A and B are shown apart, each in its own frame.
Chain A
Amino acid sequence: MNSRSRRRVDPLLATGLGIVAVVLLLGIIAPLITSHDPLAQNVRARLASPSGDHWLGTDLLGRDVFSRILHGARIDIPLALVATLVPAVIGTLLGTVSGYYSRRVDAIIMRFADVVQAFPVYIFLVALVFLLGPGARSFVVASACISWVGYARLVRAEVSRLKSRDFIVAARAAGIGDRRVLGRHLLPNVMPQVYAYMASDAVLALVALASLSFLSLGVQPPEPEWGRMIADGVDRIRSEWWLSAVPGLAIVIVGTGFSLIAFGLERQASRR
């Protein structure tokens, strides 16, 4: 493989990265785009229809919906990323230990994984958030408790598969220490798949955050979180239906972006 083909970015990956970057950027420069404070209430202007001043109208408390959706990108995207990164690190470490070192540790870790997987994800999420109290921090902790399993299984399978391959056996026979074998020879071959898995996990994390907030167990009001905004609009779907419909579109757009990134990374990983 020459260096040029390695450097060429997959078109799906580029599109996905572009989508997520643009939405995140819109969130960052939101105060410049809209003059409305996402938290400012105005009871006299409540439930206004979309107009030149309020592009997407106002909600039950008279807050500007367009401004809230833009500011939502500052909450949903970073939180989804953190809730992906933390379990990815934990799961990759445990999976490496499981696949590379002793069978006893492997057995213990995998039995833990079995128990975690016996719980349906949302049941476990709700139970853990119940335990920790609602909020963004609980969501990240709960995600870490649940999502590490997928990474651990993936990395464990790959590490134990590669462990018996010639280049690893040769490296170990040459007297290279475990840490160096793992860091220099084994993990670099596993990580591309971990990255692809992370991108598809980010879709689920984004949806899970919005879902928990929708159930009023996630990000708490008055923060402009997309799932919470959908919940706030539910009572008005007979008339002001856009209050619930539009924030959902934001989730679908960013989620599709993550999906495309996952698709692209998977293709790149399998091409090697």
Chain B
Amino acid sequence: MTRFLLRRCLQGVAVLVAVLVASFGLLKFVPGDPARQVAGTRATEAQVEAIRENLGLNDNVGVQLWKYLGRLVRGDFGSTTNGASDVADLIGQNYPVTLWLIVTSLVLTAIVSLALASSAVRRPGKLVDRLVLVTGSVGLAIPSFWLGIVLLIAVARPTGWFPIGGWGDSFGDRLRAVVLPCITLTASLIPFTTRSLRTSMLEVRQSEFVAAGRSVGLDGLPLFRRFILRNSLVPTVALFASLAGVVLSGTVLVEATFALPGLGQMMVVGAINRDVNVVQGLTVVFAAGVIVFNLVGDVVVALLDPRVERR
């Protein structure tokens, strides 16, 4: 177990380093002169030169990369282009919204897709199963931001229960503000999860121990709960661990749709304003999030199922 853990952690660190170097490239290849962009259009040549020196853009690339990595290790992402605020502080302010959204959506997704997959698996190839498959593939074609807008039009507008975009100050307001975004994000995840859950549950259902359970007279719900559902736990956890990238992608769009002040919204605004430090910092944070998420998932799977280790 220790060796497995160590190996996975080392792999994670290796990918993380590669990601950091890649994010450094973001600044290097940005068209135009970063110093001039920071300085603004009315700056004199001398001012631009001073900023260039200050940003360390005159050093050679190796030195720059080394300084950049050192900065990130210390948690220093630089300041926004207009100099008004510190990127790390902004991330600190905005991450709770994103975390709220992710956690609530993952819980809801787990419940809904487990329910859908298990009712589909009860009778493979029959009506419910086919319906689940078809809604899954149509679901992929529904842009999540558009679904969010449709929910605003069809639910928030006539009922008045939920705000039309925006966040709140009190706990109650925030709870109401997160409902529709959470449903939107869940709906965009369901096609991914239900399909693979269905496949893995089908596999479990056809395995020998289920046949054995049947042969001793178990059937219906007891058989399903004790044999099928429990043995589908490992693939479910593995599936959710692999979902990290999709979830974070989803938050970018959903936050933009509902005007939620989270990290995804910050990333989009940063990209529109051509703010290098914001885009760079968030790319690193998101990628690190995915790597950690995957790592934790792998470890949990290995703890649940000791056979995985030896693969």
B221 at the interface (CB under 8 A from A): no
Chain B residues near A115 (CB, 8 Å)?
15, 18-19, 22
Hey, which chain B residues are within 8 Å of A204, CB to CB? 140
Name the segment of B69-77, B121-129, B211-219, B265-273 touching the other chain.
B265-273
* Interface presence of A22 (CB below 8 A): no
Q: Which residues of B contact A203 (CB under 8 A)?
A: 140-141
Let me know if B153 and A251 touch, CB within 8 A: no
Q: Are B15 and A248 in contact (CB under 8 A)?
A: no
Query: Which A-chain residue is minimally distant from B247 (CB atoms)?
Result: A120
Give the residues in chain B near A206, CB-CB below 8 Å.
141
For B18, B149, B270, which residue has the most chain A Cβ atoms within 10 angstroms?
A: B149
Given the contacts A120-B248, A123-B248, A131 and B26 also touching, CB distance less than 8 Å:
yes
**Docked CA distance A254–B256 (Å):** 24
Question: Which of A111, A130, A206, A262 has the largest count of B CB atoms less than 10 A from its CB?
Answer: A130
CB distance from B269 to the nearest CB of A (A): 10
Say whether B141 contacts A119, CB under 8 Å.
no
Convert A190-225 into 0s and 1s, putting 1 for each residue whose CB lies closer than 8 angstroms to a CB of B: 000000000010011011001100111100000000
When the two chains form the complex, which single residue of B140, B279, B286 contacts A119, counting CB atoms closer than 8 Å?
Answer: B286
Residue B117 at the chain A interface, CB threshold 8 Å: no
Question: Given that A131-B26, A252-B142 are contacting pairs, would A121 and B157 also be in contact in the complex, using a CB cutoff of 8 Å?
Answer: no
Q: Which residues of A contact B274 (CB under 8 A)?
A: 130
CB distance from A12 to the nearest CB of B (A): 10
Residues of A within 8 A of B271 (CB): 126-127, 129-130, 215, 217
Contact A215 B256 (CB under 8 A): yes
A28 contacts partner chain B, Cβ-Cβ < 8 Å: no
> Which residue of B is nearest A126, CB measured?
B271
| Bound form: Cα–Cα A260–B270 in Å | 37
| A255 CB contact (under 8 Å) in B15, B141, B145, B253 | B141
Instruction: State whether the Cβ of A53 lies closer than 8 Å to any Cβ in chain B.
Output: no
B137 is an interface residue with CB less than 8 A from chain A: yes
A244 touches B26 (CB 8 A): no
Nearest A residue (CB) for B288: A118
Among A120, A244, A248, A254, the one with the most B-chain Cβ atoms within 10 Å of its Cβ is: A120
Within 22-51 of B, Cβ neighbours of A (below 8 Å) are at 22-23, 26, 29-31
Chain B 257-296 near chain A by CB (<8 Å), digits 1 or 0? 0000000000110111010000100110011001100000
* A211-B286 contact in complex given A115-B19, A129-B271, A203-B141, C-beta closer than 8 Å: no
A211-B141 in contact (CB<8A): no
B228: interface (CB < 8 Å): no
Shortest Cβ distance from A10 into chain B, in angstroms?
14
Looking at the assembled complex, report how far the CB atom of A129 sits from the nearest CB atom of chain B, in whole angstroms.
Answer: 7
Residue pair A230, B149 in contact (C-beta under 8 Å):
yes
State the CA gap A119–B21 with chains docked (Å).
Answer: 13
Rounded to whole angstroms, the CA-CA distance of A127 and B152 in the bound complex is 28
When distances are taken between beta carbons in the complex, the residues of chain B under 8 Å from A210 are: 143, 146
Interface residues of B in 114-150 (CB under 8 A from A): 137-138, 140-146, 149-150
Residue numbers in A under 8 Å from B30 (CB-CB): 130-131
- Check if B153 sits within 8 Å of A122, measured CB to CB: no
> Counting CB contacts under 8 A, is B239 at the interface?
no
Q: Given that A131-B30, A211-B253, A259-B137 are contacting pairs, would A241 and B268 also be in contact in the complex, using a CB cutoff of 8 Å?
A: no
A residues contacting B by CB (< 8 A) are 111, 114-115, 117-124, 126-127, 129-133, 200, 203-204, 206-207, 210-211, 214-217, 227, 230, 234, 237-238, 241, 244-245, 248, 251-252, 254-256, 258-260, 262-263
